[in-house]
Amino acid sequence: MIISMRPHATREEIDHVCERIAEFGYKVHSIEGEERVVIGVVGIGDVTICLESLEATPGVERAMRISAPYKFVSKEFRKGRSIIKVNGCEIGGGEFVMMAGPCSVESEKQIMETAEGVAAAGARILRGGAFKPRTSPYDFQGMELEGLKLLRKAKQRTGLGIITEIMSDRDVEMVAEYTDCMQVGARNMQNFALLKSLGGCGRPVLLKRGMSSTIKELLMSAEYIVAHGNPNVILCERGIRTFETATRNTCDIAAVPVLNELTHLPVILDPSHATGKRSLIPALSRAAVAIGADGLIVEVHPCPEKAFSDGAQSLTLADFARMMSELKPYIRLWKEARARELAAV
């Protein structure tokens, strides 16, 4: 159940609703929205009687039953799209948002050159890992705090928003200080301690789909973050494990429209990890625009052959600029379709 309070409901009214919920034997999760409080209710009991009673309680605007196992993130909870702001970019709104940058932050020169190049080509958000989840403990693990500081410097120089990966709940405060958006990588999609701590991090979260996770599991993980107090979650399809070996992962392109049917959260595509191959990225990027993704996150490196990680799937700055210009007519159509949709709501 979800209880939506009237705008400007008083603290007493909110407390009273929470007491009533407890009397019915349910547990409360409360989200303090910008202008209204929305209360998530979980547990087992007589839903119909509880709903009727709460609807008649002062301060309550609407009490609704949500049948999906993920409540706050479901389309049942919100029909329209959620717009998530990252450094002034409205993801899920009327702009197709490009995030680009290296897999790992490697040096000041590398991140500055990349930031300037991708900004000039039209990216709005700079990606770059300072904490890297590597399969081998002997591979480059990231520059950590030094890398975060370089990302901040790149933001100061270019105005780009920053997205970087958070790997452990112990680092949430530190990473949040340096970034505009916290990335949860595929390997941590079900790190529930991390997801819970991101509920209170004060930054939007980009949640990448686990490589062996179903769409339902992805949505349940998003629900963890929202139920713990952070409604600003963006989802990312980045390819899943299948029997296919021609690509690094298999891009589940259908995940994008499926998610658009199930959730109001924005959905972006990562064609770099989805394919593992530089040559395939422009085609998948066009597909992402065509199927109504809200943006892309793409790996770009000034010299991919020297990259510390994921060089084979990284575009050069020139490749990226070319792709951005080739995407323009597609993005124009995307914008017209999105404007029509937003106007119809």
User: Which residues make up the interface to ligand PEP (CB under 6 A)?
Assistant: 103, 129, 133, 185-187, 208, 238, 270, 273
**Residue 71's binding partner out of Mn ion, ligand PEP, none, with CB under 5 to 8 Å set by partner kind:** none
User: Cα–Cα distances in Å, from 305 out to 66, 194, 236, 302?
Assistant: 50, 33, 26, 9
Smaller CB distance to ligand PEP: residue 129 or 304? 129
**Residue 29's binding partner out of ligand PEP, Mn ion, none, with CB under 5 to 8 Å set by partner kind:** none
Please, where are the H alpha helices in 131-280? 145-158, 172-178, 192-198, 215-227, 255-262, 271-275
Identify which range of 98-106, 110-118, 184-192, 325-333 contacts Mn ion by CB under 5 A.
Answer: 98-106
Minimum distance, C-beta of residue 210 to ligand PEP, in the bound complex (Å)? 9
Smaller CB distance to Mn ion: residue 312 or 331? 312
Instruction: Rule CB under 5 A: say whether 106 interacts with Mn ion.
Output: no
**Residue 185's binding partner out of Mn ion, ligand PEP, none, with CB under 5 to 8 Å set by partner kind:** ligand PEP
Minimum distance, C-beta of residue 97 to Mn ion, in the bound complex (Å)? 19
Q: Note the Cα 79 to chain centre separation in Å.
A: 18
CA distance 220 to 105: 30
CA distance 337 to 75: 20
**Residue 302's binding partner out of Mn ion, ligand PEP, none, with CB under 5 to 8 Å set by partner kind:** none
Number of residues that make up the chain: 345
CA distance 242 to 34: 42
Write out the binding residues for Mn ion, residues 292-321 only, by CB under 5 A: 310
Residue pointed to by tokens 């106007």 = 343
Smaller CB distance to ligand PEP: residue 185 or 295? 185
Smaller CB distance to ligand PEP: residue 74 or 272? 272
Minimum distance, C-beta of residue 103 to Mn ion, in the bound complex (Å)? 3
User: Cα–Cα distances in Å, from 268 out to 109, 149, 249, 298?
Assistant: 28, 26, 16, 11
Minimum distance, C-beta of residue 107 to Mn ion, in the bound complex (Å)? 17
CA distance 265 to 306: 36
Smaller CB distance to ligand PEP: residue 48 or 135? 135
Instruction: Rule CB under 5 A: say whether 180 interacts with Mn ion.
Output: no
Instruction: Rule CB under 5 A: say whether 103 interacts with Mn ion.
Output: yes
For helices 145-158 and 108-121, angle between their N-to-C axes, nearest 10 degrees = 40
Sheet containing strand 27-32, strands side by side: 27-32, 37-42, 2-5, 60-64
Smaller CB distance to ligand PEP: residue 20 or 187? 187
Minimum distance, C-beta of residue 133 to ligand PEP, in the bound complex (Å)? 6
Smaller CB distance to Mn ion: residue 84 or 103? 103
**Do the bridges between strand 89-91 and strand 84-86 make them parallel or antiparallel, or are there none, so unpaired?**
antiparallel
Return phi, psi of residue 255, to 5°: -60, -30
Nearest alpha carbon to residue 331 among 127, 88, 126, 123: 123
8 Å CB contact between 219 and 247: no
Residue nearest to ligand PEP (CB): 185
Minimum distance, C-beta of residue 5 to Mn ion, in the bound complex (Å)? 42
Identify which range of 97-105, 138-146, 201-209, 228-236 contacts Mn ion by CB under 5 A.
Answer: 97-105
# chain residues binding Mn ion, by CB under 5 A? 2
8 Å CB contact between 37 and 5: yes
Smaller CB distance to Mn ion: residue 133 or 329? 133
For binding to Mn ion (CB under 5 A), which residues are involved? 103, 310
